[in-house]
Amino acid sequence: MSQATVIGQPTAAVIGAGPAGFFCAVALLRGECPWRVDLYERLPVPYGLVRYGVAPDHPEIKAVSRQFDRVAGNSACTFLGNIEIGRDVSVDELCRAYDAVILACGAPEHRRLEIPGESLPGSLDATRFVGWYNGHPDYAGTGVDVSSDTAVVVGNGNVAIDAARILAKSNDELRETDIASNALEVLRHSGIRTIHILGRRGPVQSSFSTLELRELAELAEFAPASDPSAFLLDAAGRTELETLCDGQQQRAFGVLESYSGEQRDESRPGRLQFHFLCSPIEFQGDERVTGLRVRRNRLEGEPGRQHAVATEEEFTIECGLVIRCIGYRAVPIPGAPFDESGAVVSNQEGRVLEGEAVIPGLYVAGWLKHGPRGLIGLNKKESSAVIAKVMEDLPRLPRKPGGGPKALRQHLQSRGVRITSFDDWTRIDTAEKERGKSMGKSREKFRAVREMLACLDVP
């Protein structure tokens, strides 16, 4: 769905068709100046984190894709899938073809604990685990062993809750979702009966959303619990909760506290246990994980700046699976200056920097700009702020030939790059829904790029 570029009409390439990229496209298309926008994506299909990061039992969050559909259907916007920056096209080539290039590729890698035994089988990062149950092509071959009776989830944010909830839910609770069928089959044979969730600081400093916490009380086979002592706050903790935390944080604290007084529910044999002020210090096991050694912490510092300090007290959790949900990090984009210390593209308010100098026409948005933080909706405001800088700069940007984007696409095709369109995505979308329907599910995703492309070759 595209149109010829109007003479004098500025052109933009947005790299990454996830939330940040789509919100950038929205801001460009709704501005006073009529831009021509090409939306590039490494995979043949759009939506990024919405498709591959949102838990399968939260379809309501994926509804934002309908808004993205309208953007991609705009005649001034073209989706160009199956194109990887650095492999198929360079940042320099893009900058020569477009008036503005906005990098919005996200933060695809996980952070590490950097403790002994972290690479043992049975230790999984959130990127791999979430990609596995969501059918991401990069993680289709991931092995997840759920044969032991105990699992540990390290982290105190919503990704940790998602991981724990997927482990805890029965097949009846998951079978009609778009969870990958291979993951559903593995989980059907799960022996896990206890899930520990570890946070290095206290419940006041956790990043759980109230809605996600309340969902845990509705699990069919697992009951949530937390240690009452974690809610005996000192003066600094009480001040932080009452004066510095917003209403959502206070409500989340209340839900966690309510789980501390619950008696064991015999009708739900599984246990989902929260531990606060705990830091993993060593994975145990020779050939695979058999346990996790943990050190207790205490909090020090002023309200709002409390940090965890290790104590001498330690304990061990015997387990066969540990999922590390401690955050994501961006990776360098070939041809774009990268700040390794912050794991972001070097920038000033979204304008990419080479040293201290701004690179004209090159911008960055989303997690690649400011690090992995915030829910999907936060990208809308921050992407709009970056596009405001693009609009501000437009009179000073070196304008490119009107046929630049078209010539670049032709050049990519001459190299043998198979470019997928939004119409191609709708065919893949229809095929996945049909596959799911035959299994009694809402969708069964293709878990390999070659399968997606083969689907398009069917008459």
Tell me the per-residue pLDDT of 405-446, one tens digit each, with 9 for 90 and over: 999 999 999 999 999 999 999 999 999 999 999 999 999 999
SS3 422: helix
Please say if the pLDDT value at position 389 is more than 70.
yes
pLDDT in tens, 39-56: 999 999 999 989 999 999
Torsion of CA 209, 132, 418, 105, to 10 degrees: 30
Joined together, the tokens standing for residue 33 give 């100046």
Distance CA 343, CA 361 (A): 22
Query: What confidence score (pLDDT) does residue 375 get?
Result: 67
**Per-residue model confidence (pLDDT) at position 91:** 96
- What value does the mean pLDDT take over residues 165-191? 96
Report the alpha-carbon distance of residue 7 to residue 123 in Å, rounded.
55
- Asked if pLDDT for residue 292 goes beyond 50, the answer is yes
Say which CATH class 110-328 falls into.
alpha beta
What's the whole-number mean pLDDT along residues 292-309?
96
pLDDT, residue 3, reads 43
pLDDT tier, 59 (very low <50, low <70, confident <90, very high otherwise): confident
Query: Of residues 3 and 356, which shows the higher confidence score?
Result: 356
What percent of the chain clears pLDDT 70, i.e. is strictly above it?
A: 97
Is 243 within 8 Å of 193 (Cβ atoms)?
no
Contacts of 252 (CB under 8 A, 6+ apart): 206, 208, 209, 210, 213
Contacts of 330 (CB under 8 A, 6+ apart): 105, 106, 107, 108, 109, 343, 344, 345, 367, 368, 371, 372
Give the Å distances, CA to CA, from 69 to 1, 96, 103, 307, 425: 12, 28, 20, 43, 10
Number of H helices, E strands in the chain: 16, 20
pLDDT above 60 (res 7): no
The 10s digit of each residue's pLDDT in 144-176 is 999 999 999 999 999 999 999 999 999 999 999
| Closest to 105 in 3D by CA, of 219, 181, 164, 19 | 19
pLDDT band at 4 (very low <50, low <70, confident <90, very high): very low
The contacts of residue 261 (CB under 8 Å, 6+ apart) are 228
Structure tokens at 342: 């912050």
pLDDT of 5 > 70? The answer is no
pLDDT band with cut points at 50, 70 and 90 for residue 60: confident
Check pLDDT > 60 for residue 392.
yes
Burial 229-242 (b: 16+ CB within 10 A, else e): ebbebeebbebbbe
Strand partners, 352: 347
Q: Encode pLDDT of 337-373 as tens digits.
A: 999 988 899 999 999 999 999 999 999 999 999 888 7
339 with 346: CB under 8 angstroms? yes
pLDDT higher at 103 or 379:
103
Domains of the chain, residue spans: 11-108+330-420, 110-328
Strands 328-329 and 109-110: antiparallel
Which residue shows structure tokens 């309208």? 70
d(CA 159, CA 149): 22
Question: Domain 11-108+330-420 adopts which CATH fold?
Answer: Rossmann fold (3.40.50)
Asked if the domains 11-108+330-420 and 110-328 are classified in one and the same CATH topology, the answer is no
Residues 304 and 386: their CA atoms lie apart, in Å, by 29
- Evaluate if residue 282 carries a pLDDT over 50: yes
70 pLDDT more than 80: yes
DSSP assignment, residue 48? T
Residue whose C-alpha is closest to residue 10's, from 387, 394, 350: 394
Q: Does residue 374 have a pLDDT over 80?
A: no
Judge contact between 165 and 56, C-beta under 8 A.
no
Q: Mean per-residue pLDDT for 302-312?
A: 96
